[in-house]
Amino acid sequence: MGYLGYEMVHFFEPSVPRARKDDLEVPDLCFLLADTLIIFDHQERKMFLIANAIIENNALEAYEKAKRKLDDLQEALSKPLYHPLFLRNPDCGHELPLAVNMTKEEYISMTEKMQEYIRAGDIFQVVPSQRWHTPCKKDPIDVYRALRLINPSPYMFCLKFKDFSLVGSSPEVHVRFDKRKVYVRPIAGTRPRGQNSPEEEAKIVEELINDPKEKAEHIMLVDLARNDIGRVCAFNSIIVKELMVIEKYSHVIHMVSSVEGIAREGISPFDVLEATFPAGTVTGAPKVRAMQIISQLEPTCRGPYAGIVGCLSFSGYLDSCIAIRTILIKNGYAYLQAGGGLVADSTPIGEYLESSNKAKAGMKALALVESFL
């Protein structure tokens, strides 16, 4: 279990230069080999404890060691919990002291320069982003609990490493690989949720699914996803299972599609990751040129943002999400980054507002936790 940061693109694609400034100073890649696990089945309301017997020399010794770990885990679970924050009202009204890695004017100027590359024919689409940070001295698990309350999503995670933590609620699969089946689910097309009535929200959904720009951009990214998994899938096995369906989250509405294929014989989870990383929905198309432009124009490295968070089992099962709606907590600060797809007829101010809307759930979670002194 762990993450591949966006900056890993420089190993997969050497023609993409590193960002001009690495101010986060976290590893490009960090995975944990979990020797003990607690698995909770929410449907069956059952808990499973697992200790992996890592056999180095003596199999019986490894087995006995794993049994002792299970005993220790049972004992730890029988002890009282620490007193967590009692999170109830998500609308706490607490104001965060936010700083950003570029001003609104700088963000708009960056998107205008990117549009020059689009008009010149270098790319069709690119995904600029901006990053906010705020003081945060709370336990990452409390930030996770607040995010779970405010923005429940298909992928919820809290990864605590030695010097930093990653907390996220990602809505988007990066890639899933199980018994040769490859599955991706690109998201492209976003609107803020309706605030006043179901009728207002229905109008927003109708406008999104009938917007020619959004539809064209979405189809382009579905084609990019098909092309990516086509590198590892058998000929004629790729299908679009769902096309442009609507999914609603706490603060935004997304347009989503599902693409599946059957991997060729001998393909490993690492081959699948290499073929699909990073996702086109956080870079643009054509992917390599879009990444080069991002490295040239974004002022700081992306770090874990727009990479992946996922798990890989001993059996070869891979499940991963894109590291969006993800908060990095390090040295008393929380960092949150968001972006949006830019095409020829996008408005820079519209893209600025879209990235801000995507960051709202994370900001609200941090505000909720910080409101408890």
Q: Which of 27-41, 57-71, 93-107, 289-303 has the lowest mean pLDDT?
A: 93-107
CA angle 116, 120, 124 (to 5 degrees): 85
What integer pLDDT is reported at residue 54 of this predicted model?
Answer: 85
Of the candidates 130, 102, 112, 190, the one whose C-alpha atom is nearest the C-alpha of residue 346 is: 112
Q: Which of 113-122, 222-231, 250-259, 273-282 has the lowest mean pLDDT?
A: 250-259
Render pLDDT for 171-198 as a digit per residue (tens, 0 to 9). Answer: 999 999 999 999 999 998 888 887 778 8
Contact 131, 107 (CB under 8 A): no
- Whether the pLDDT of residue 90 is over 60: the answer is no
Which percentage of the chain shows pLDDT scores above 90?
A: 71
Cross-strand partners of 183: 176, 260
Is pTM beyond 0.85? Reply is yes
Q: Is 321 helix (H, G, I), strand (E, B) or coil?
A: strand
Could you tell me the pLDDT band of residue 44, with boundaries at 50, 70 and 90? very high
* Distance (Å, whole) CA 234 – CA 261: 7
Q: Which of 68-82, 100-114, 235-249, 333-347 has the lowest mean pLDDT?
A: 68-82
**Average pLDDT, integer, range 110-137:** 96
137: region left, alpha or beta (phi > 0 left; psi from -120 to 50 alpha): alpha
* Distance (Å, whole) CA 371 – CA 86: 11
- Parallel, antiparallel or unpaired: strands 239-248 and 252-262: antiparallel
What integer pLDDT is reported at residue 111 of this predicted model?
Answer: 96
Known catalytic residues? 254, 281, 305, 325, 341
- Whether the pLDDT of residue 373 is over 60: the answer is no
Give the end-to-end CA distance of the chain in Å, rounded to a whole number: 32
Contact 232, 268 (CB under 8 A): no
Residue with tokens 């010097």: 163
Could you tell me the pLDDT band of residue 213, with boundaries at 50, 70 and 90? confident
What integer pLDDT is reported at residue 34 of this predicted model?
Answer: 86
Q: Is 134 helix (H, G, I), strand (E, B) or coil?
A: strand
CATH class name, domain 2-32+95-370: alpha beta
Could you tell me the pLDDT band of residue 79, with boundaries at 50, 70 and 90? confident
Tell me, rounded to whole angstroms, the distance of Cα 269 from its chain centroid. Answer: 19
Q: Is 296 helix (H, G, I), strand (E, B) or coil?
A: helix
**Average pLDDT, integer, range 95-121:** 94
Of the candidates 266, 80, 256, the one whose C-alpha atom is nearest the C-alpha of residue 183 is: 256
Contact 201, 176 (CB under 8 A): no
Could you tell me the pLDDT band of residue 88, with boundaries at 50, 70 and 90? low
Query: Is the bond leading into 14 cis (omega within 30 degrees of zero)?
Result: no
What integer pLDDT is reported at residue 83 of this predicted model?
Answer: 61
Domain ranges of the chain: 2-32+95-370, 33-81
- Whether the pLDDT of residue 289 is over 60: the answer is yes
The amino acid at residue 346 is S
CB contact burial 9-48 (16+ within 10 A = b; e otherwise): bbeeeeebeebeeeebebbbebeeeeeeeeeeeeeeeeee
Residue 150 Cα distances to 144, 299, 333, 335, angstroms: 10, 30, 20, 18
**Average pLDDT, integer, range 50-70:** 92
- Whether the pLDDT of residue 348 is over 60: the answer is yes
Query: Residue 165: what are its φ and ψ, rounded to 5°?
Result: -135, 155
Residue 196 Cα distances to 172, 189, 203, 214, 335, angstroms: 27, 21, 12, 24, 30
DSSP 101-114: SS-HHHHHHHHHHH
What integer pLDDT is reported at residue 244 of this predicted model?
Answer: 94
What integer pLDDT is reported at residue 97 of this predicted model?
Answer: 86
Sequence-ordered alpha helix ranges (H) in the chain:
9-12, 59-78, 104-119, 140-150, 198-209, 212-230, 269-276, 287-297, 348-370
Mean pLDDT over each residue of the chain, to the nearest integer: 91
